[in-house]
A and B are shown apart, each in its own frame.
Chain A
């Protein structure tokens, strides 16, 4: 079974803090993604990576950065947390190839910024 593991299930941080969300997958997937999910807005892509040290901006990258130093690990960084970054954060991974196969999700991190 593919496993995507996020480091925290719930997180509470203060405004202005630097926040690290970690994601690890164990199936040697090339592609990894960070989404945030808010009521009524669905899943919005923040960043994705298709290879080690490669990253592409998604639809809402402002205020976020990412790091992928190893194939299995994709980190999301909130440089200076703000209350409007309170959200559910979901990491996902997928295989790369001739076609696009399904994305597998981690359990999600519910981040609250106070």
Chain B
């Protein structure tokens, strides 16, 4: 069983602060890593994908990957109330038959 673990939260941050979301995974052969945002009652939407060690920035979002530690994180700078959602970490690899393994999600609330 491939495991993806996320800090369960809920996480609350004030507006304008940095939100930090963390994820660990068990399969060392994983190659592709994704962060999805899911609003209540809606389907997940992709925020970030990262495939190599280091940081990847896109606007207010930064994904960080450390394959040696089997760790991936998402930083949200200048958090806005509209960022309030559940964030899902997903891991995939060709050696797992292109399947995606999801964490259970971290609920984030940004307080105005």
Contacts and interface: CB of A to CB of B under 8 A. Distances in A.
Interface of A: 31, 33, 35, 40-43, 45, 48, 50, 56, 58-59, 90, 92, 94, 96, 98-108
A41 B104 CA distance: 6
Contacts, number: 61
Given A40-B104, A43-B88, A100 B43 contact: no
A42 B88 contact: yes
Given A99-B94, A100-B31, A103-B90, A108 B100 contact: no
A70 B31 CA distance: 29
Given A42-B105, A100-B100, A107-B42, 12 more contacts: A31-B98, A43-B44, A45-B99, A90-B44, A99-B94, A100-B94, A102-B34, A102-B46, A103-B34, A103-B100, A107-B43, A108-B42
B102 interface: yes
Contact of A42 (B1, B94, B98, B103): B103
Q: Summarize B's interface: helix, strand, loop or mixed.
A: loop
Contact of A105 (B1, B44, B92, B94): B44
B10 interface: no
A100 B88 contact: no
A90 B45 CA distance: 12
Contacts of B46: 102-104
